[in-house]
Amino acid sequence: MTIPSTELTVPNHIGIIMDGNGRWAKKKGLPRSIGHTYGAKTFKTMTRYISRRGVKYLTLYAFSTENWKRPLEEVNALMKIFRQYLVDSLTNFREDDIKVVFIGDRSAFPQDIIDLINETEAVAKDRQGMQLNIAMNYGGRAEIVQAVRRLCQEVQDGRLTPEALTETTVSEYLYTAGIPDPDLIIRTGGEHRLSNFMLYQAAYAEFYSTDTLWPDFGEADLEEAIRVFNRRSRRFGGV
């Protein structure tokens, strides 16, 4: 029997690996960049829907540390889309209650994008609604490396002893400090891998993969992912 969506437990933190924009465009005989443009539309509509659905934290994987390997033309098209999204969210979405935070190494982006990122975060910082973490130039390994570097410095400066280091301490040095671990990670586009997404935080996340390509992902697909999540038995190593 299908559980009605009103009776489902909504995950506290959902992460989404938004994959399949390029293939979506290719199927339609369009350039990959058009797939990213449509992917950005889904980004906006799904963010609002997931917020209305009562999710407290949403982390969207927008650009990985490995995505710089793509042809310059595609990287430039993506930068143009990020810029447009940021300008839009600063002008049209000022009334939104969503708290936007960026995770990843923003220093690699062009200066105008860094400024827009900082401004977007500043405008949203006191909002009480869902927290939207946008992972840009994010890589789970890079995140762990920057944490280890800072922790080594703490030890060197005498503020921390190696014995005092715990799993919680490490969490506090990740980009996601203060954010609870994801409960559900959704990957669109059919692959079954994390591609460097939230490696430390995903330890006990439920993984859900769908063949739906990101530009086609909609409310019904999200509801199906939540429904499957509700059927999972999370044991966290216990019985």
**Burial, 160: exposed, middle or buried (Cβ in 10 Å; 0-12, 13-18, 19+)?**
middle
Q: Which residue is nearest to Mg ion (CB)?
A: 19
Which residue's CB atom is positioned nearest to ligand IPE? 22
* Min separation Cβ 19 and Mg ion, Å: 4
Q: Is 143 in the site for Mg ion (CB under 5 A)?
A: no
Torsion of CA 209, 212, 217, 223, to 10 degrees: -50
Residue 146, helix vs strand vs coil: helix
Which residues of this protein are in contact with ligand IPE, per CB under 6 A? 17-23, 61-64, 67, 78, 189, 191, 193, 195
- Indicate the helix (H) or strand (E) that contains 211: none
Active site residue 137: no
Please state, in angstroms and as integers, the Cα–Cα distance from residue 154 to each residue in 164, 167, 173, following that order.
11, 16, 11
Contact letters for Mg ion, residues 16-55 (x by CB under 5 A):
---x------------------------------------
User: Which option in ligand IPE, Mg ion, none does residue 18 bind, with CB closer than 5 to 8 A by kind?
Assistant: ligand IPE
Query: Whole-number minimum distance, CB 189 to Mg ion, in Å?
Result: 6
- Burial class for 104, CB neighbours closer than 10 Å (0-12, 13-18, 19+): buried
Residue 67 annotated to the active site:
yes
Q: Please give the residue ranges that form the binding site for Mg ion (CB under 5 A).
A: 19
The residues assigned a catalytic role are 19, 67
